Protein backbone atom coordinates (compact mmCIF):
# COMPACT_ATOMS: atom_id res chain seq x y z
CA UNK A 1 0.00 0.00 0.00
CA UNK A 2 1.40 3.43 -0.95
CA UNK A 3 1.86 6.17 1.62
CA UNK A 4 -0.98 8.28 0.20
CA UNK A 5 -3.44 5.41 0.60
CA UNK A 6 -2.13 4.63 4.09
CA UNK A 7 -2.46 8.31 5.03
CA UNK A 8 -6.05 8.37 3.80
CA UNK A 9 -7.00 5.18 5.66
CA UNK A 10 -5.21 6.13 8.88
CA UNK A 11 -6.12 9.81 8.88
CA UNK A 12 -2.46 10.73 9.35
CA UNK A 13 -0.46 13.05 7.14
CA UNK A 14 2.14 11.32 4.96
CA UNK A 15 4.81 13.40 6.72
CA UNK A 16 3.68 11.97 10.09
CA UNK A 17 3.97 8.42 8.73
CA UNK A 18 7.45 9.17 7.38
CA UNK A 19 8.35 10.69 10.77
CA UNK A 20 7.23 7.53 12.59
CA UNK A 21 9.33 5.50 10.17
CA UNK A 22 12.40 7.72 10.64
CA UNK A 23 11.88 7.56 14.43
CA UNK A 24 11.87 3.77 14.40
CA UNK A 25 8.25 3.47 15.53
CA UNK A 26 7.29 1.63 12.37
CA UNK A 27 9.40 -0.66 10.27
CA UNK A 28 11.34 1.03 7.47
CA UNK A 29 10.02 0.17 4.05
CA UNK A 30 12.14 -0.32 0.96
CA UNK A 31 11.27 1.85 -1.99
CA UNK A 32 10.18 0.15 -5.17
CA UNK A 33 11.86 0.79 -8.52
CA UNK A 34 9.36 3.61 -9.15
CA UNK A 35 10.47 5.32 -5.89
CA UNK A 36 7.27 4.65 -3.95
CA UNK A 37 7.17 3.10 -0.50
CA UNK A 38 5.01 -0.01 -0.31
CA UNK A 39 3.62 -0.59 3.19
CA UNK A 40 2.25 -3.92 4.39
CA UNK A 41 -1.47 -3.93 5.30
CA UNK A 42 -0.74 -4.64 8.99
CA UNK A 43 0.99 -1.25 9.34
CA UNK A 44 -2.46 0.29 9.70
CA UNK A 45 -3.08 -1.29 13.12
CA UNK A 46 0.43 -0.31 14.24
CA UNK A 47 -0.36 3.33 13.39
CA UNK A 48 -3.63 3.03 15.32
CA UNK A 49 -1.73 1.75 18.36
CA UNK A 50 0.77 4.61 18.12
CA UNK A 51 -1.88 7.32 17.79
CA UNK A 52 -3.98 5.74 20.55
CA UNK A 53 -0.97 5.58 22.87
CA UNK A 54 -0.14 9.22 22.15
CA UNK A 55 -3.75 10.19 22.91
CA UNK A 56 -3.42 8.31 26.22
CA UNK A 57 -0.39 10.43 27.14
CA UNK A 58 2.51 8.19 26.13
CA UNK A 59 5.56 9.96 24.71
CA UNK A 60 7.05 8.70 21.47
CA UNK A 61 10.02 7.35 23.42
CA UNK A 62 7.70 5.41 25.75
CA UNK A 63 5.83 4.03 22.75
CA UNK A 64 9.11 3.04 21.06
CA UNK A 65 10.16 1.11 24.16
CA UNK A 66 6.86 -0.78 24.37
CA UNK A 67 6.23 -1.45 20.67
CA UNK A 68 7.69 -4.56 19.07
CA UNK A 69 9.08 -4.30 15.56
CA UNK A 70 6.82 -7.19 14.54
CA UNK A 71 3.48 -8.58 15.69
CA UNK A 72 5.02 -11.63 17.36
CA UNK A 73 7.52 -9.63 19.41
CA UNK A 74 5.26 -8.28 22.18
CA UNK A 75 6.89 -8.39 25.62
CA UNK A 76 3.87 -9.06 27.84
CA UNK A 77 5.42 -8.09 31.18
CA UNK A 78 7.11 -4.94 29.85
CA UNK A 79 3.91 -3.83 28.16
CA UNK A 80 1.82 -4.47 31.26
CA UNK A 81 4.35 -2.68 33.47
CA UNK A 82 4.46 0.33 31.13
CA UNK A 83 0.67 0.57 31.03
CA UNK A 84 0.38 0.34 34.81
CA UNK A 85 3.04 3.00 35.24
CA UNK A 86 1.14 5.32 32.88
CA UNK A 87 -2.05 4.79 34.90
CA UNK A 88 -0.15 5.79 38.07
CA UNK A 89 1.17 8.91 36.34
CA UNK A 90 -2.35 9.82 35.24
CA UNK A 91 -3.66 9.36 38.80
CA UNK A 92 -0.96 11.69 40.16
CA UNK A 93 -1.84 14.22 37.48
CA UNK A 94 -5.54 13.93 38.34
CA UNK A 95 -4.77 14.63 42.01
CA UNK A 96 -2.71 17.66 41.03
CA UNK A 97 -5.54 18.92 38.80
CA UNK A 98 -8.07 18.53 41.63
CA UNK A 99 -5.77 20.55 43.92
CA UNK A 100 -5.24 23.21 41.26
CA UNK A 101 -8.99 23.47 40.67
CA UNK A 102 -9.69 23.82 44.39
CA UNK A 103 -7.08 26.55 44.67
CA UNK A 104 -8.47 28.43 41.67
CA UNK A 105 -12.03 28.19 43.00
CA UNK A 106 -10.88 29.63 46.33
CA UNK A 107 -9.11 32.47 44.54
CA UNK A 108 -12.20 33.20 42.44
CA UNK A 109 -14.38 33.18 45.55
CA UNK A 110 -11.94 35.51 47.29
CA UNK A 111 -11.80 37.94 44.39
CA UNK A 112 -15.58 37.95 43.96
CA UNK A 113 -16.04 38.48 47.70
CA UNK A 114 -13.51 41.32 48.00
CA UNK A 115 -14.76 43.73 50.65
CA UNK A 116 -15.93 47.09 49.32
CA UNK A 117 -13.15 49.65 49.40
CA UNK A 118 -10.35 47.12 49.99
CA UNK A 119 -7.36 47.54 47.69
CA UNK A 120 -6.67 44.64 45.34
CA UNK A 121 -3.16 44.23 46.77
CA UNK A 122 -4.58 43.94 50.30
CA UNK A 123 -7.18 41.43 49.09
CA UNK A 124 -4.41 39.43 47.39
CA UNK A 125 -2.50 39.25 50.69
CA UNK A 126 -5.68 38.19 52.48
CA UNK A 127 -6.29 35.47 49.87
CA UNK A 128 -2.74 34.17 50.20
CA UNK A 129 -3.12 33.91 53.98
CA UNK A 130 -6.46 32.09 53.59
CA UNK A 131 -4.98 29.68 51.08
CA UNK A 132 -2.04 28.99 53.37
CA UNK A 133 -4.32 28.52 56.38
CA UNK A 134 -6.59 26.17 54.44
CA UNK A 135 -3.60 24.15 53.26
CA UNK A 136 -4.12 24.73 49.54
CA UNK A 137 -1.17 26.95 48.65
CA UNK A 138 2.39 25.77 48.23
CA UNK A 139 3.83 22.31 48.17
CA UNK A 140 2.35 19.27 49.85
CA UNK A 141 5.16 19.42 52.41
CA UNK A 142 4.03 22.88 53.42
CA UNK A 143 0.43 21.73 53.55
CA UNK A 144 1.37 18.78 55.74
CA UNK A 145 3.47 21.00 58.01
CA UNK A 146 0.67 23.59 58.29
CA UNK A 147 -1.85 20.85 59.01
CA UNK A 148 0.45 19.40 61.64
CA UNK A 149 0.90 22.85 63.26
CA UNK A 150 -2.89 23.35 63.33
CA UNK A 151 -3.44 19.95 64.98
CA UNK A 152 -0.72 20.66 67.55
CA UNK A 153 -2.18 24.10 68.34
CA UNK A 154 -5.69 22.63 68.61
CA UNK A 155 -4.49 19.84 70.88
CA UNK A 156 -2.64 22.33 73.10
CA UNK A 157 -5.71 24.55 73.42
CA UNK A 158 -7.90 21.54 74.28
CA UNK A 159 -5.53 20.40 77.05
What confidence score (pLDDT) does residue 20 get?
92
What confidence score (pLDDT) does residue 30 get?
82
The answer to whether residues 103 and 131 touch, using CB atoms and an 8 Å cutoff, is yes
**At residue 62, what are phi and psi to the nearest 5 degrees?**
-65, -40
Q: Which domains does the chain have, with CATH numbers?
A: 3-74 (1.10.1660.10), 78-158 (no CATH)
10-residue stretch averages of pLDDT, the chain, 159 residues long = 92 94 86 85 89 91 80 75 90 94 88 88 87 64 45 44
What confidence score (pLDDT) does residue 136 get?
60
Cα separation values, 127 from 54, 143, 155, Å: 39, 16, 26
Helix, strand, coil percentages in the chain from 3-state DSSP, rounded to 5: 70, 0, 30
pTM of the complete model: 0.59
What confidence score (pLDDT) does residue 13 get?
96
Amino acid sequence: MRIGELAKISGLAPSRIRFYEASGLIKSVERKANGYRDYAPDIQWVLEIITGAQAAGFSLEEIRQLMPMNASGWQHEELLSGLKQKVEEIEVLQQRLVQNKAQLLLVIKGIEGKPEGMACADNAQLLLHRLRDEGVAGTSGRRDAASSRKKTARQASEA
